[in-house]
């Protein structure tokens, strides 16, 4: 029976090694003073951990990372996680254990990665996607990815790697500003409180972050370098101002990004959004389109994410074609002087097409409502109709105009375009299925070979001309084709496609397209072109709570002048005037003492600051670099440290960031690579997107109002009735009402949301079952990448497993030598857990540990140290608090965080003897114990010696023996005569 011991350090604890108790430490071994019965398996618990501290005050010029204390946490509230107020489990004293080890890690800075590391050791940079610290705090979906990265971080430390595992805050943005407007509090105040709340919750879950590297985008010492990066973009011509259509939300008083608009309403608040032109700062991400596309190939990312990025970039090869325009009666557009070519005085419109081979099938042109020529093209009698249509389109989102619009709409401008080949007049329409943000905002409509154009032509009675036929349908001379269902969109053979000097009939699609491009280029009417769906990045917001642009405009000039680096950071004014003005201008425009300044070049000329701020995306584009050297005063990242740590080895986050954040971050990283600031062309080597955690299954029945009769789901007029789990039971592949099994019950899990009331607060789960149980359960639910359904019973199950681990060590460990079977079970577990952890198959790694505990509990009569202590090392990345406590109680004074990961002894895994199933004529008649590699003769002799096998063989003759060593023996016997 070993003595229960813990380590206590005096004030003389060594400062040379923050991770361990150094040799200078005065280590006193004494019985544990925790208020629990030693190894009884039961202990009174505190229902809540009170952390001392006070809320952070607002200091815009100070880093949020300096806020180290938080307000005391209230007792856990009622939650769906436990069906009411949590009742803490008494299975083992997890509350005391977890509080103790979190305090230990904090005091000893166990997971602090020194600024100077031994670069001869391998490195592992494991990163979580930058969280936004909302006032609601974490829900149980957040810790899923964080737990996965923490397991890898702890595992890699034990494998001998230098590990970088940081955390910080993406703290600028619209939500904090809107909350401030609603409550009258300053965004800095709410952000500081939210950060403190998130930090406390993350620490309570035992994540091994290096909190010494914590950063926040709202820290001026951080956004100083965000501003510096912008200036480099400006200097390289990658930042510019342009008048572009934007999403203006009058209620929120700001411009919104496309992704912040859903069905014409703001994502936050559901307010109407209109499109209007505004002069805005843009980033020329399109200049990097080919590199962003090509470099995807070398990344260890999910194929689905790569495909999403490829589709977003949308590279298309085709041709740009010029169409001369002819104004209709009463339009303000001048008419061309020639019907066959464009002169310098002729107004024309360019279109991009991926199918130049269909040029002779064009029957009309369509312009986007925001196209600058729409107003000029509107003929006198159609001007009001066209303007009304343009105004209506301005109230729709791009999604509504494309994916969601079922019926095509449009307006005839009354003007015409001249076909560049035939010279015929083509009507010009305006329609909102064409977007001004894609290509030139104009399309040549080929309704016979494009579904959208065909739908539009049918709707408005416009001509449809087939110019491509399937190869098998074209007639011998390729001048005509058999009937085919239109629109026909596949490659084929050109038909009806000869006019003057351009003859395409009979040519395959690729050859016909090349001939058209050559014809257009020869006459100056078009050219070969590569087009991208990717648009330049709208990089300005009319908000207060964001990074200020380090730019001024001298009096009388519209030319932006950058601030010198010595004047960075340009900080936000500490003001309460952050309410929108009701105009598209930023609230900063009203703060005259901040706006009015001087030209930095002479220090005298009056100037105005840029009053837009950067989008929330800005700070999250490069934060992974600042973690490497967060206090570096001379550059955004220390060059030597960057060369060692980059790229990020593992990046984990939600699939909702698969395109925009990742695309923006890759763009900025490539610019920094070109500047020589970073040493790698890509920031994230491996990407993993965790699946969503849905709320608990909800059970619903359906009743007719009045009669109360139970009916099938979908019955007219039926009312939903929520049922408890106790009221239903499983029948076959569905559920029925327990009181009346004839009534079928709907059972569904939904995304967690406040409106459904199914949000599970991790604080409640931790209070009831402990952080280790929450961590373990979220990894045991299923593969990390899958969508999973929350179940409180599942948490209880893994909690019982941890209690069994606790009881396995009850009474201590012995110094007896383990037997071979004990070592075999241990080393099989070491191998399995190591492989599964490395491959991020955490659920199967946990299953292997459960099998170990089952085997040890049921079959071991003793508790050998050499067979049990290595198991604690396997468990420690998953349930670190319990593993640390048991490791300590086994007599180890220091943390196990840097103990070497166990190595499996393959010789112990070799199977020496097996229970060999024996069949006679295909039916199993018994088993025999033989050597794993026993030859057939030996296995057969052992089988025939078994009474039941011998009986069924009887006097028959053996015709054939089928033998798979270690697996099966089948004796084929002819019946006795």
Identify the pLDDT of residue 254: 72
Identify the pLDDT of residue 275: 78
Alpha carbon distance 664, 687 (integer Å): 15
Q: For residue 971, list its beta bridge partners.
A: 920, 961
**770 — alpha (psi -120 to 50), left (phi > 0) or beta?**
left
Residue burial 304-332, b: 16+ Cβ < 10 Å; e: rest = ebbebbeebbebeebbbbbbbbbbbeebe
User: What token pair was written down for 663?
Assistant: 């695309």
Report the SS3 class of residue 759. coil
Residue labelled with tokens 């070969």:
528
Identify the pLDDT of residue 826: 97
Alpha carbon distance 172, 615 (integer Å): 8
DSSP string, 49-112: ------PPPP-TTS-GGG----PPPPPPPPBTTTTBS-----SS-HHHHHHHHHHHHHHHTTT-
State the angle between helix axes of 771-780 and 142-158 in degrees (0 to 180), rounded to the nearest 10: 100
Q: For residue 961, list its beta bridge partners.
A: 971
956 CB burial (10 A radius; 0-12, 13-18, 19+): middle
Residue labelled with tokens 């330049």:
536
Q: For residue 649, list its beta bridge partners.
A: none
- The answer to whether the CB of 689 falls within 8 A of the CB of 302 is yes
Contacts of residue 450, defined as CB under 8 A and 6 or more positions apart, other chains included, come to 487, 489
Identify the pLDDT of residue 482: 55
- Residue 807 sits at φ, ψ, to 5 deg, of -70, -25
Report the SS3 class of residue 344. coil
User: What token pair was written down for 243?
Assistant: 């008048």
User: What token pair was written down for 411?
Assistant: 């307006």
Among residues 742, 738, 748, which one has the least CA distance to residue 710? 742
Identify the pLDDT of residue 243: 87
- Residue 426 sits at φ, ψ, to 5 deg, of -110, 130
DSSP string, 636-649: SS-HHHHHHHPSBS
Average pLDDT, the chain: 86
User: What token pair was written down for 154?
Assistant: 């702890």
* E strand spans, 385-486: 411-418, 425-430, 442-445, 468-469
Alpha carbon distance 157, 247 (integer Å): 48
- The answer to whether the CB of 34 falls within 8 A of the CB of 93 is yes
User: What token pair was written down for 671?
Assistant: 């610019």
Contacts of residue 929, defined as CB under 8 A and 6 or more positions apart, other chains included, come to 913, 914, 915, 916, 942
Identify the pLDDT of residue 296: 96
User: What token pair was written down for 932?
Assistant: 């794993």
Identify the pLDDT of residue 461: 96
- Report the share of the chain in percent with pLDDT over 90: 64
Among residues 372, 116, 154, which one has the least CA distance to residue 243? 372
DSSP string, 694-726: EPPPEEEEEE-TTT--B--TT-TTPEEEEE-GG
- The answer to whether the CB of 764 falls within 8 A of the CB of 55 is no
Identify the pLDDT of residue 695: 86
- The answer to whether the CB of 265 falls within 8 A of the CB of 273 is yes
Contacts of residue 592, defined as CB under 8 A and 6 or more positions apart, other chains included, come to none
**677 — alpha (psi -120 to 50), left (phi > 0) or beta?**
alpha
Contacts of residue 587, defined as CB under 8 A and 6 or more positions apart, other chains included, come to 253, 542, 543, 544, 577, 578, 579, 580, 581
* Helix and strand numbers, DSSP H then E, in the chain: 27, 40
- The answer to whether the CB of 747 falls within 8 A of the CB of 739 is no
Q: How many beta carbons lie within 10 A of that of residue 410, not counting itself?
A: 22
User: What token pair was written down for 596?
Assistant: 């009015």
Terminal C-alpha separation, the chain: 68
706 CB burial (10 A radius; 0-12, 13-18, 19+): exposed
Among residues 359, 680, 714, which one has the least CA distance to residue 523? 359
Whether the CA torsion 580, 581, 585, 589 is positive or negative: it is negative
Q: For residue 924, list its beta bridge partners.
A: 919
DSSP string, 207-255: ----GGG-EETTSHHHHHHHHHHHHHHHHTT-EEEEEEEEEEETTTTEE
Q: For residue 705, list its beta bridge partners.
A: none
Q: For residue 124, list its beta bridge partners.
A: 163
Using alpha carbons only, give the angle 551, 554, 555 rounded to the nearest 5 degrees.
140
Among residues 780, 848, 852, which one has the least CA distance to residue 821? 852
- The answer to whether the CB of 394 falls within 8 A of the CB of 274 is yes
Contacts of residue 656, defined as CB under 8 A and 6 or more positions apart, other chains included, come to none
Alpha carbon distance 188, 537 (integer Å): 27
Report the SS3 class of residue 156. helix
Q: For residue 502, list its beta bridge partners.
A: 499
Q: How many beta carbons lie within 10 A of that of residue 111, not counting itself?
A: 25
**Is 0.85 topped by the overall pTM?**
no
Contacts of residue 356, defined as CB under 8 A and 6 or more positions apart, other chains included, come to 318, 319, 321, 512, 513, 516, 517, 520, 526
H helices present in 621-685, as ranges:
623-626, 639-645, 660-675
Among residues 775, 797, 761, which one has the least CA distance to residue 78? 761
User: What token pair was written down for 700?
Assistant: 């619903």
Among residues 977, 881, 924, which one has the least CA distance to residue 207? 881
Rg (CA), the chain: 35
Could you tell me the CA-to-CA distances from 391 to 217, 244, 370, 388, 654 in Å, in that order? 38, 16, 10, 5, 37
- The answer to whether the CB of 333 falls within 8 A of the CB of 373 is yes
Identify the pLDDT of residue 397: 66
- The answer to whether the CB of 337 falls within 8 A of the CB of 343 is yes
Alpha carbon distance 708, 162 (integer Å): 66
Could you tell me the CA-to-CA distances from 556 to 174, 545, 592 in Å, in that order? 32, 28, 17
Which stretches in the chain have pLDDT values below 50? 1-83, 336-345, 475-479
Q: For residue 411, list its beta bridge partners.
A: 430
Tens-place pLDDT, residues 539-588: 998 889 999 999 999 999 999 999 999 999 999 999 888 877 777 788 89
């Amino acid at each position: 029976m070993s003595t229960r011991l813990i380590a206590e350090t005096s004030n003389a604890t060594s400062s040379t090694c923050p991770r361990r108790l150094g040799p200078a430490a005065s280590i006193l071994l004494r019985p544990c003073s925790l208020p629990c019965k030693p190894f009884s398996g039961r202990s009174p618990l505190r229902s809540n951990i009170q952390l001392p501290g006070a809320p952070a005050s607002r200091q815009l010029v100070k880093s949020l990372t300096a806020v180290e204390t938080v307000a005391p946490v209230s007792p856990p509230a009622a939650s769906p996680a436990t069906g009411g107020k949590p009742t803490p489990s008494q299975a083992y004293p997890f509350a005391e254990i977890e509080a103790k080890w979190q305090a230990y890690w904090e005091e000893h800075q166990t997971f602090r990665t020194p600024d100077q590391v031994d670069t001869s050791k391998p490195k592992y940079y494991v990163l979580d996607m930058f969280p936004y610290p909302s006032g609601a705090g974490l829900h149980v979906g957040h810790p899923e990815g964080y737990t996965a990265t923490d397991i890898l971080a702890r595992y890699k430390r034990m494998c001998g790697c230098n590990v970088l595992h940081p955390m910080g805050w993406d703290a600028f943005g619209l939500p904090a500003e809107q909350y401030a407007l609603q409550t009258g509090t300053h965004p800095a105040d709410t952000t500081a409180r939210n950060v403190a709340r998130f930090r406390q919750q993350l620490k309570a879950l035992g994540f091994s972050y290096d909190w010494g590297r914590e950063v926040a985008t709202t820290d001026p010492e951080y956004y100083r370098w965000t501003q510096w990066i912008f200036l480099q973009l400006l200097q390289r011509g990658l930042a510019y101002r342009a008048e572009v259509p934007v999403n203006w939300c009058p209620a929120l008083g700001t411009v919104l990004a496309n992704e912040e608009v859903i069905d014409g309403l703001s994502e936050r608040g559901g307010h109407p959004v209109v499109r209007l032109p505004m002069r805005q700062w843009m980033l020329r991400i399109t200049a990097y389109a080919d590199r962003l596309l090509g470099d995807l190939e070398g990344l260890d990312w999910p194929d689905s994410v790569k495909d999403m990025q490829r589709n977003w970039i949308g590279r298309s090869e085709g041709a740009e074609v010029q169409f001369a325009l002819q104004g209709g009666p009463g339009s303000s557009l001048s008419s061309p002087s020639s019907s066959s070519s464009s002169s310098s005085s002729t107004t024309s419109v360019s279109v991009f097409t991926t199918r130049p081979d269909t040029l002779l099938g064009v029957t009309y042109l369509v312009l986007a409502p925001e196209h600058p020529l729409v107003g000029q093209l509107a003929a006198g009698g159609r001007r009001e109709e066209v303007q009304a249509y343009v105004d209506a389109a301005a109230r729709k989102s791009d999604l509504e105009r494309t994916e969601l619009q079922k019926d095509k709409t449009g307006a005839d401008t009354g003007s015409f375009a001249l076909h560049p080949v035939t010279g015929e007049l083509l009507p010009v329409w305006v329609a909102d299925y064409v977007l001004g943000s894609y290509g030139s905002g104009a399309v040549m409509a080929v309704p016979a070979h494009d579904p959208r154009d065909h739908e539009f032509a049918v709707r408005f009675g416009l001509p449809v001309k087939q110019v491509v036929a399937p190869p098998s349908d074209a007639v011998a001379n390729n001048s005509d084709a058999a009937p085919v269902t239109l629109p026909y969109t596949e490659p084929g053979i050109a038909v009806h496609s000869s006019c003057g000097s351009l003859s395409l009939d009979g040519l395959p699609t690729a050859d016909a397209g090349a001939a058209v491009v050559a014809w257009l280029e020869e006459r100056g009417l078009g050219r070969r072109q590569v087009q991208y769906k990717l648009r330049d990045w709208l990089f300005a917001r009319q908000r207060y709570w964001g990074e200020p642009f380090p730019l001024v405009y001298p009096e009388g000039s519209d030319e932006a002048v950058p601030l010198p680096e010595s004047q960075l950071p340009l900080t936000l004014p500490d003001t309460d005037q952050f309410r929108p003005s009701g105009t598209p201008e930023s609230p900063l425009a009203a703060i005259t003492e901040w706006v009015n300044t001087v030209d930095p070049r002479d220090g005298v000329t009056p100037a105005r600051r840029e009053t837009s701020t950067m989008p929330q995306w800005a700070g999250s584009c490069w934060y992974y670099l600042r973690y490497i050297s967060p206090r570096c005063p001379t550059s955004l990242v220390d060059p030597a440290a960057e060369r060692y740590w980059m790229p990020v080895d593992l990046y984990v986050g939600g699939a909702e960031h698969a395109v925009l954040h990742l695309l923006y971050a890759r763009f900025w990283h490539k610019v920094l690579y070109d500047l020589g600031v970073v040493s790698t062309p890509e920031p994230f080597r491996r990407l993993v997107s965790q699946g969503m955690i849905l709320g608990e299954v909800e059970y619903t029945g359906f009743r007719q109002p009045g009669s109360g009769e139970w009916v099938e789901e979908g019955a007219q007029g039926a009312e939903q009735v929520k049922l408890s789990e106790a009221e239903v039971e499983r029948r076959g592949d569905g559920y029925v009402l327990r009181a009346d099994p004839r009534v079928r019950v709907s059972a569904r899990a939904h995304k967690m949301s406040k409106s459904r009331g199914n949000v599970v607060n991790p604080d409640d789960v931790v209070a009831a079952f402990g952080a280790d149980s929450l961590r373990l359960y979220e990894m045991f639910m299923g593969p990390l990448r899958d969508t999973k359904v929350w179940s409180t019973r599942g948490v209880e199950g893994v909690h019982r497993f941890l209690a069994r681990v606790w009881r396995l060590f009850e009474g201590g460990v012995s110094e007896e030598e383990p037997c071979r079977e004990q070592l075999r079970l241990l080393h099989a577990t070491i191998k399995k857990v190591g492989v599964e952890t490395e491959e991020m198959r955490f659920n199967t790694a946990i299953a292997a540990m459960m099998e170990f505990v089952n085997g040890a509990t049921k079959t071991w009569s003793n508790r050998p140290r050499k067979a049990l202590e290595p198991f604690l090392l396997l468990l420690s990345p998953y349930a670190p608090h319990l593993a640390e406590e048991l490791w300590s109680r086994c007599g180890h004074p220091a943390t196990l965080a840097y103990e070497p990961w166990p190595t499996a002894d393959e010789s112990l895994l070799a199977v020496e003897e097996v229970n060999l199933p024996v069949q006679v004529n295909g039916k199993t008649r018994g088993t025999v114990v033989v050597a794993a590699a026993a030859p057939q003769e030996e296995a057969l002799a052992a089988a025939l010696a078994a009474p039941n096998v011998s009986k069924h063989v009887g006097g028959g003759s053996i015709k054939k023996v089928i033998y798979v060593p270690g697996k099966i023996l089948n004796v084929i016997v002819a019946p006795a005569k």
